[in-house]
Amino acid sequence: MANVLIIGAGGVGSVVAHKCALNADVFTDITLASRTKAKCDKIAAEIESMHGVTIKTEQVDADVVADMVALIERVKPFLVINVALPYQDLPIMDACLATKTHYMDTANYEPKDVAKFEYSWQWAYKQRFEEAGIMALLGCGFDPGATQVFTAYAAKHQFDEMHYLDIIDCNAGNHGKAFATNFNPEINIREITQPGRYWENGEWIEIPAMSIHKPVVYPEIGPKESYVLYHEELESLVKNFPTLKRARFWMTFGQAYLTHLEVLQNVGMTRIDPVKFNGMDIVPLEFLKAVLPAPDTLGENYTGQTSIGCQIKGVKDGQEKTYYIWNNCDHAETYKEVRGQAVSYTTGVPAMIGAMLLIKGEWLKPGVWNCEELDPDPFIEQMNKQGLPVQDKILTEEIV
């Protein structure tokens, strides 16, 4: 049915390419492009041998709008799936505008020199995308992405009014490495070391990083210490669901991970400003990324599960209730299916589903949209079919 261009050949890009190939009736023509073409070729060979599907590969520096425009004009995709880094969001959106091509990504734009997570830059494209008759679907991974679909699903089917939202994200997996991040280390560490923030009574409450935490009991996993972080989907969720009195995001971290991170911070290795080394400007966090294991190398022998969901408290027919909707995903299973670990998988599969719903027309509308603004039902239906089964229940006792 459609021709897609995937940008980025890391952990997530690889899963998106595999899953598109596994849905070759929808994705009839797939091109994978990245800065390093050899990475795309390796993934293409894996897809050919595992699923018998041929995909094309290309080289591109997506920071250069003219190069992106030339690539889009050559490939002529219906949609660009951006799973490179957040820094590339705006140049790729500009190239999509110039060529009138639909766009989607899994993380909001960030400027390189300041770790700032907000949608303002991308929302500013709304009118231009509308006028061009093309769509930009923002943040369609798991969180952001599926967590907003879960919230929209709860609003549609479970509540008259939602009051309290807690997004809880657990990785109870073990990759056997002393220290590694499950998605791009630079982006991950920038996110975790910034101050925490949550929404309460109409305003953002800022807290020191990692200062609010408690054990949360995750399904099939058990209790795991969970920390309040700022996460980008909170910004659009509180805008689109104004009855929310409080919205928080929690993520689990093991003690060994936190100790490594604290030491790296204390010695200056997480700095994002350049320092002089042997006459060269180097950014410590970029150097750290170069010596850490890449997310796409963690999959082999990774054991355990992830569990990500939303606990929502609100009112239905005058009665208070608490609803929980979640997915658990197993690292070893996802490696078997697409050679990727569960964090890449839980991001890449929703991205493929978002792309599929645009192609099928079920989610397609001009403008710039976040996932909770679209019908959650076909998305949940596809999650159940595509390896991310959704579970839900009414809670008698709150988990968070």
Q: How many residues bind ligand NDP (CB under 6 A)?
A: 36
If the CB atoms of residues 142 and 159 are measured against ligand NDP, the closer one turns out to be 142
236 interacts with ligand NDP by CB under 6 A: no
Q: How far is the CB of 112 from ligand NDP (least distance, A)?
A: 11
User: 215: which 2 tokens?
Assistant: 């054990």
Residue with tokens 């929302």: 123
Q: With left for phi above 0 and alpha for psi between -120 and 50, is residue 353 left, alpha or beta?
A: alpha
Closest to ligand NDP by CB, 159 vs 298, is 298
Of 23, 57, 99, 106, the one binding ligand NDP (CB under 6 A) is 106
Closest-approach residue to ligand NDP (CB): 10
Applying CB under 6 A, does 99 fall inside the site for ligand NDP? no
Q: How far is the CB of 316 from ligand NDP (least distance, A)?
A: 29
Helix (H, G, I), strand (E, B) or coil at 135: strand
Q: Are 164 and 249 in contact (CB under 8 A)?
A: no
Nearest to 94 by CA among 75, 118, 68: 68
Q: Which of 6, 99, 143, 226 binds ligand NDP (CB under 6 A)?
A: 143
Structure-block tokens of residue 360: 């099928």
Q: Residue 104 belongs to what H/E stretch?
A: strand 102-105
Q: Which of these, 82, 81, 25, lies nearest to 53 by C-alpha position?
A: 25
Positions in 171-230 near ligand NDP (CB under 6 A): 183-184, 187
Identify the helix (H) or strand (E) that includes residue 7.
Answer: strand 2-7
Q: Smallest distance, Å, CB 343 to ligand NDP? A: 6
Name residues contacting ligand NDP, limited to 312-371 (CB under 6 A).
344, 347
Least CB distance to ligand NDP at residue 126 (A): 20
Nearest CB to ligand NDP, comparing residues 143 and 166: 143
In the complex, the smallest distance separating the C-beta of residue 63 from ligand NDP, rounded to whole angstroms, is 4
Q: How far is the CB of 253 from ligand NDP (least distance, A)?
A: 15
Q: Does 145 bind ligand NDP (CB under 6 A)?
A: yes
User: First and final CA of the chain: distance in angstroms?
Assistant: 43
Task: Provide DSSP, 178-233.
Answer: SS--SS-HHHHHHHHHSPEEEEETTEEEEE-TT-SEEEEEETTTEEEEEEEE--TH
CB under 6 A: which stretch of 41-49, 140-148, 156-164, 372-380 binds ligand NDP?
140-148
Q: Of residues 2-61, which lie at the interface with ligand NDP (CB under 6 A)?
A: 7-13, 34-36, 39, 60-61
Question: Residue 246 corresponds to which amino acid?
Answer: R
Q: Please state, in angstroms and rounded to a whole number, the distance separating the CA atoms of residues 324 and 293.
A: 34
Dig out the tokens for 391 from the structure.
Answer: 């579970």
Residues that bind ligand NDP (CB under 6 A): 7-13, 34-36, 39, 60-63, 83-86, 88, 106-107, 139, 141-145, 183-184, 187, 294-296, 344, 347
